[in-house]
Chain A
Amino acid sequence: MHRFANPTRFLKLAAIIQPWVAGITLGLFAIGLYMAFFTAPPDYQQGESVRIMYVHVPSAWMGMFCYAAMAVASAVALVWKHPLADVAGKATAPVGAAFTFLALATGSLWGKPMWGTWWVWDARLTSMLILLFLYIGYMALQGAFDDRARGARASAILALVGVVNLPIIKFSVDWWNTLHQPASVIKMDGPSIHPDMLWPLLIMAVAFKTYYVWILLVRIRQELTANKVRILRLKQVHGG
């Protein structure tokens, strides 16, 4: 059971996998970007601005995916006290926050020509904004303790509380949105999506995902090595 769990084994394995993941990520981005700009057609309604979708939608997906991944890692860390799950959750948070921020920023850049303003209290954007707050809270709590282990445990509990709350927040924001805003705005991901647009979108989404795996490997390796450094420091202080 602990074959995969052993951090030392993981470190070795990660060092081998990492260049492959990096290569796949770069390749997918090359194909995805080419398709997004050259093979994907402009939208009949939104024109060329629809190309923002190929970074906006994957960012939004990854923003949500990372939170789910963080919650799963937190649950594993709390229940089985698994050292890898602990660092995986910690390594995911900044990536998820970055994606969520990107979803908001590109959504705003897309919204300006579509809606005529930089920000509309659209249900999706609003939910993303709250998600960003949840990420910030998680990272703030994690860094707020002198004892690193306490920060890890407290933020793991917070991630679980957050993941239970997310559907409720999503639902309430949708509800609030329909109360206050008649559905007149152009939907950001049109009703039916043409295959010429779907393929670049999917490839970009996979590229974003492998990018996440890449970063995750690097950050987990960094965290595990940092743990070793701490242990060596303690040894030095206590004279071995």
Chain B
Amino acid sequence: MDKFNELVKRDLSLAFRQGMDSLMVVAFFIIAVVLFPFGVGPEPNTLAKIAGGTIWVAALLSSMLSLERLFQTDYEDGSLELLALAPIPLEITVLAKVVAHWLTTGLPLIVTAPLLAVLMQMPTEGFIVLIAALLLGTPTLSLIGAVGAALILGSRRGGVLLSLLVLPLYIPILIFGVSAVDAAIFDQSVRPHLVFLGALLAGSMALTPWASAAALRQALE
């Protein structure tokens, strides 16, 4: 566990040293959502109707921004090879990197989301559930994204390719995330939606580190 924390700390300090990353992601998140009123018009009812979906789609796209570099720098400077040879299983290392990624992108998104919900005229009933759904959903985004980030290491077209690989796999999270918010707004039970989000998180926590580690190993082969 100490080793795990160390790894997370290492990645966090790296992220902070590169600075601005989290801020940029948040800025992108805000801008992406703010575009919608310009696209569909500022009519409050229209905005309220699409608020949940817009915020979730923007969250999906934002969390993908910094994915490309999740393993890239370590891969290029060779420290990934050291991590693969280290006594800690590579799966745990991946998990540590995912935690660091979520802390630097997922968490800032969740903090910003209520502000965007206000801008999008979301009924207040949806706020708590939006945050809960994002709390359950964004870690899954980071977990799945890590597989994609590991797969594209050393490829010719990184970023666009990554989004092509990862976005279709994000669809279930988007569906349940938005339906949870909608259920809250229409005063229906939000439990099943959140349960599915939780199940997706648990499932991907158990499975994706294996896939990411396998992808990293074959990249280092």
Is the C-beta of B201 less than 8 angstroms from some C-beta in chain A?
A: no
With contact pairs A154-B151, A158-B151 given, residues A140 and B161 touching in the complex (Cβ less than 8 Å):
yes
Contacting residues of chain A (212-231) with chain B, CB-CB under 8 angstroms: none
Contacting residues of chain A (148-162) with chain B, CB-CB under 8 angstroms: 150, 153-154, 157-158, 160-162
Contacts of B157 in A (CB 8 A): 144
Contacting residues of chain B (121-180) with chain A, CB-CB under 8 angstroms: 147, 151-152, 154-157, 161, 164-165, 167-169, 171-172, 175-176, 179
Contacts of B167 in A (CB 8 A): 133
- Cβ contact of B172, chosen from A78, A153, A162, A172, cutoff 8 A: A172
- Cβ contact of B156, chosen from A134, A144, A169, cutoff 8 A: A144
Q: How close is A7's CB to chain B, nearest CB, in angstroms?
A: 22
Q: How close is B79's CB to chain A, nearest CB, in angstroms?
A: 20
Contacts of A169 in B (CB 8 A): 168-169, 171-172
Chain B residues close to A by CB (< 8 Å) = 147, 151-152, 154-157, 161, 164-165, 167-169, 171-172, 175-176, 179, 182, 196, 200, 203, 207-208, 211, 214-215, 218-219, 221
CB-nearest residue of chain B relative to A134?
B168
* Chain A residues bordering chain B, tally (CB within 8 A): 29
**B164 A136 Cβ-Cβ under 8 A:** yes
- Cβ contact of B179, chosen from A140, A144, A176, cutoff 8 A: A176
Contacting residues of chain A (170-224) with chain B, CB-CB under 8 angstroms: 171-173, 175-176, 179
Contacts of A134 in B (CB 8 A): 168
Is the C-beta of A49 less than 8 angstroms from some C-beta in chain B?
A: no
Contacts of A171 in B (CB 8 A): 172
CA of A173 to CA of B175, assembled, Å: 8
CB-nearest residue of chain B relative to A143?
B156
Would you mind naming 26 contact pairs between A and B with Cβ atoms under 8 Å apart? Answer: A78-B214, A130-B168, A133-B164, A137-B168, A140-B164, A140-B165, A141-B152, A144-B152, A144-B156, A150-B154, A150-B219, A154-B215, A154-B218, A154-B219, A157-B151, A157-B215, A160-B211, A164-B207, A165-B169, A169-B169, A169-B171, A169-B172, A171-B172, A173-B171, A173-B175, A176-B175
